[in-house]
Amino acid sequence: MSLPVPTVIPAAPDVTLLFGPMLLGVSLNTLLFGVMLVQATMYYQRYKSDRTWFRYLVLYLVVVETANWICDMGLIYEPLILRYGTPLALEFSPVMLRADGILTVLVSTPIQLFIAWRVHVVTRSRILPVIICILAVVSFGGGIATTTVVSLHPKLASFPDFHPEIITWLVASAACDVFLTVSLVYSLWIRKTHIKSTDSYINKVIRLTVQTGTITAAGALLDMLFTFFFPATTLSFIIDFPLSKLYSICLISTLNARAWKETTSAHDAPNALFEQTPVLSRTSFVLTGTNRARPTSFSPRAVGDDSTWKDAYV
């Protein structure tokens, strides 16, 4: 009597470097989405009389970021729940992954163009904003191209072939962020008035500008490096999924860093980044009896066509 032949169960494929980074990226995206919502709530509570299009820009970011978060939740739900244990989960990319590129640049590009506009307002230069806008548009095109090729070639094995589109997108975005940071730091630095309270505030804005620009540029570069050096994994998704949130948080936190109605009277410092603030000479201020600065004369280097003290203060 022959014994039954034992059934050999094939070993399950190792999906650690396939779904692990995706799960981490979605988790980070969800965490930063909550941070962004808190920042947006603070903005609408504090700046009820802010420029209308500023408020619409923040609303736009919230709407697009919500769509981005929903897609990220869907793209991890599909392989881990809907396609669990099937070959399709290991062969094809999630359907909602195709929206990642376009939703990211729909956030990053308007923010970069917004800061480019502010560079123009602050410096009155046309060359710097044009360069920034070109880099932002190239980045936008790279994001659209990435979404297109992922949609046309959804197999995971095809992803290493997408390097030109992804590198164009991320390198242009990182270069744009670096250029923005350098331009703003320089333009803010030359606006110092040699008045301690004013220069202290400008130094604060400079530090915030460097920090936010470094974060977004580093995020884009890390995303590109992971994509280039680890093409057979999804390690780049750890950075890629929450990348748009970094842009939104950096912009909204910068908006929230301005003085607002409860602190304006005690903090008369010009907002060199978001308001029309004239560049002043050393003798532009004298102290009044209340130890508050008041303008006495303007430097010929005043910036902005509508530079008034009402606009210069937050």
| Residue of 30 and 216 predicted with greater confidence | 30
Nearest Cα to 61, choosing from 118, 105, 116? 105
Mean pLDDT for 87-98 is 90
Close Cβ partners of 248 (under 8 Å, ≥ 6 residues apart): 36, 61, 65, 107, 111
Burial of residue 136, with CB atoms counted within 10 A of its CB: 0-12 exposed, 13-18 middle, 19 or more buried: buried
Q: How many domains does the chain have?
A: 1
Per-residue pLDDT tens digits for 19-34: 999 999 999 999 999 9
Share above pLDDT 90 across residues of the chain, in percent, rounded to a whole number:
44
Host H or E run for residue 286: strand 285-287
184 in any annotated domain: yes
- Pull the structure tokens for residue 297: 């004369």
Does the pLDDT at position 56 exceed 70? yes
Distance between CA atoms of residues 62 and 68, nearest Å: 10
| 58 part of a folded domain | yes
Mean pLDDT of 9-27: 82
Q: What is the pLDDT of residues 252-274, one digit of tens each?
A: 988 888 765 544 443 444 444 45
111 in any annotated domain:
yes
Take residue 128 and report the two structure tokens written for it: 């710097």
Q: Is residue 311 part of a domain?
A: no
- Average pLDDT score over residue span 235-261: 88
Q: Taking the model in full, what pTM does it have?
A: 0.79
Q: Tokens at residue 221, please?
A: 């570069």
Q: Tens digits of per-residue pLDDT, 107-117?
A: 999 999 999 99
pLDDT top residue among 312 and 128: 128
User: What phi and psi values does residue 194 have, to the nearest 5 degrees?
Assistant: 65, 20
Identify the top-confidence range among 69-73, 161-165, 210-214, 294-298.
69-73
Using CB atoms within 10 Å of the CB of residue 13, give its burial: 0 to 12 exposed, 13 to 18 middle, 19+ buried.
exposed
- The answer to whether position 266 is within a domain reads no
Domain region containing 104: 16-259
Could you tell me the CATH number of the domain that includes residue 211? Answer: 1.20.1070
Confirm if 166 and 227 have CB atoms less than 8 A apart: yes
- Domain presence at residue 224: yes
In a domain, 43, yes or no: yes
